[in-house]
Chain A
């Protein structure tokens, strides 16, 4: 790998790995295509192409014999001859269970058998092995990672990965797991429409006179639909409301055309290969109808003849009409949640390849009463925004831009009668925390079952079950005397943790649950180890390298903090901090990642009071001259 340097002022050369620019990327892990983008040397984000100049990597993974894996266009080709070994649209299976998929009427049967996997998550049976959707997604991400590392000239130091705004907790967690499995450090999960807004908003508003406005982002991709209503003000992108359907997209348009073709063919019981050929034909037909009024659909038959029929655009539009219209309901609800009327919007932005369908554009124009904006490539805009956000998170440049997002779905608990009690309603700004108090209903009750669900409906059975756990060791009391406090926390990635505690007796009985779907941290580590084909030695080197990079980063941050706020420390305290930093420096000389990691966390502990003081100073500065009354 070649390392490139810039000329520095005398004596100003940066310490290694603390350099001003970090190699970070934005990744759009899509249902049909995935992309990776980074900041270019010209200053703006650009998608990184493969050796043939193509940016979009088909999200298709082919499992050949002898553990060979093929990803992308080549896999797409192999799907025609080996549909049972080729997985596409795996995003629709992310974070979902087998039963749940079977109950879902919109779920089209894939050409590979599905099974129950670990943690209740679905698993795919590809010829000679079982793979989870997380593993399949990781294969796609690995290809993008490699592509980016070649273009950027070194290992990546972080990535922003985008998810549909309407993804639930399990789907988000699965995406993050896939990124970790691919060896990426996830800086943040960012919602796709918000990333798109960042890409758009910048171009339009930075430096302009009018830096304020309300926007709707209409994002219809290959398998998911999102709408977000945002307020853009002085560089802050504040999401007011979001809505969507994580099982609606261009794939469903293809499915409608496919059904039509199969009906026209008049044959029953098509085998996997024929069906795959029809599926490809359906997709080509849909794409051609974007510009053409009528398209011929030729299909070679086994007897050597060619079957041929035509489809008009108006027939296609009839086939998909109800799907397109179903997005309207979601948009109206989002507008209502945001407290906005369509005419208050400054613009509607189209994102996602499926917004190329003329019927979709017409419908959006009608729905919002204005022509939508689509000057950026709807396939690339999400990745471009993600790259920009990655650059901001890496601290590569000073900027006032900030993305503020919300929870897409309400989070709640099961209460008596299988009803849901909402704890964090949908469209709550994140990070968020909310606590709810419950009590026992039987005398001497010593345990309480806690069932965490996500969704808008009143009945538990109609919501998504996220986690079940039990708070044990409640001291014997009469019914209603115990006070059990259940706390929900949603972090900046939109991921949930739940804790429960009995408060009256002072007995600390606390359980913290991170809903887990299929993969535990240990399992991911295990898989990473197995995936590293170079054996244990390389693993050790990699861990050592990571530990050193982290140590250098921490030391760099501490030096900066001491320079800026060193006056917050007494001489004795400063000596303490310096000594701790010295120990970490010494540990760097010993080639042992565990030693280094220990010293990093020790330094972190020993400087907690300093971090706290710096934070307090920051808050005081921010609140200066303001009174509590200002906030009332």
Chain B
């Protein structure tokens, strides 16, 4: 079981961690149960590890995922996209079967 980040996403995460003044912190990826199709993604800074956390590394960035979320997130790749009107991290999750019109929440 694993999750990963693209080079671009890792680059951006590194910039943001540095700007925040915590270059050594990790990035937490998770899911929460809300939204119009059931589940939605979470992306947060992680200064401390929790008991059930699993760790991964992509292009020099540490990623932590709690055990429950990992079941849903296995195989997910996080990319970073930027254009004139939108920029942010994008989740590509092979397990998703259905997502709401806005892509903000999904079902597996």
Give me the interface of A with B, judged by CB distance under 8 Å.
1-13, 15-17, 38-42, 46, 48, 151-155, 541-542, 544-545, 548-549
Contacts and interface: CB of A to CB of B under 8 A. Distances in A.
Interface in B27-59: 27-28, 32, 34-36, 40-47
Interface of B: 13, 16, 27-28, 32, 34-36, 40-47, 81-91, 99-105
Given A4-B88, A5-B89, A8-B43, 12 more contacts: A3-B104, A4-B90, A5-B88, A5-B91, A10-B47, A11-B44, A16-B34, A39-B85, A41-B84, A41-B86, A48-B85, A152-B86
Contacts of B44: 7-13
Given A16-B34, A545-B36, A7 B85 contact: no
A397 to B, nearest CB: 16
B87 A41 contact: yes
Contacts of A41: 82-87
Contact of B103 (A2, A9, A541, A549): A2
Instruction: Kindly name the residue among A17, A38, A42 whose own CB sees the greatest number of chain B CB atoms within 10 A.
Output: A17
21 contacts: A2-B90, A3-B103, A4-B81, A6-B43, A6-B89, A7-B16, A7-B45, A8-B42, A10-B45, A12-B44, A13-B42, A15-B35, A16-B104, A17-B35, A17-B102, A42-B84, A48-B85, A151-B86, A153-B85, A154-B104, A544-B36
A17 B85 contact: no
Nearest to A15: B34
Contact of A5 (B35, B41, B47, B100): B41
B28 A10 contact: yes
Shortest 3 CB-CB distances between A and B: which pairs? A4-B88, A16-B35, A3-B103
A2 B84 contact: no
A475 B13 CA distance: 75
A43 to B, nearest CB: 12
A154 B45 contact: no
A40 B84 contact: yes
A13 B43 contact: yes
Contacts of B100: 545
Contact of B105 (A16, A39, A42, A541): A16
A8 B87 CA distance: 14
Nearest to B35: A16
Contacts of A9: 44-45
B97 to A, nearest CB: 16
Nearest to A9: B45
B78 to A, nearest CB: 9
A528 to B, nearest CB: 16
A441 to B, nearest CB: 59
A3 B82 contact: no
B102 A155 contact: yes
Nearest to A19: B104
A40 B85 contact: yes
Contacts of A2: 81, 90, 103
A549 to B, nearest CB: 7
Contact of B43 (A7, A15, A545): A7
Contact of A7 (B81, B89, B99): B89
Contacts of B88: 4-6
B27 to A, nearest CB: 7
Nearest to B87: A41
Given A10-B28, A10-B44, A17-B36, A4 B101 contact: no
B40 A16 contact: yes
Given A9-B44, A10-B46, A4 B86 contact: yes
A544 B42 CA distance: 24
Nearest to B32: A13
B102 A1 contact: yes
Nearest to B12: A7
Contacts of A542: 101
A48 B85 CA distance: 8
Contacts of A7: 13, 16, 27, 43-45, 89
Nearest to B42: A13
Contacts of A11: 44
A581 B82 CA distance: 38
Contact of A151 (B47, B85, B104): B85
A38 B86 CA distance: 10
A11 B47 CA distance: 11
Nearest to A16: B35
Contacts of B102: 1, 3, 17, 154-155
A324 B90 CA distance: 53
Contacts of A16: 34-36, 40, 104-105
Contacts of B91: 3, 5
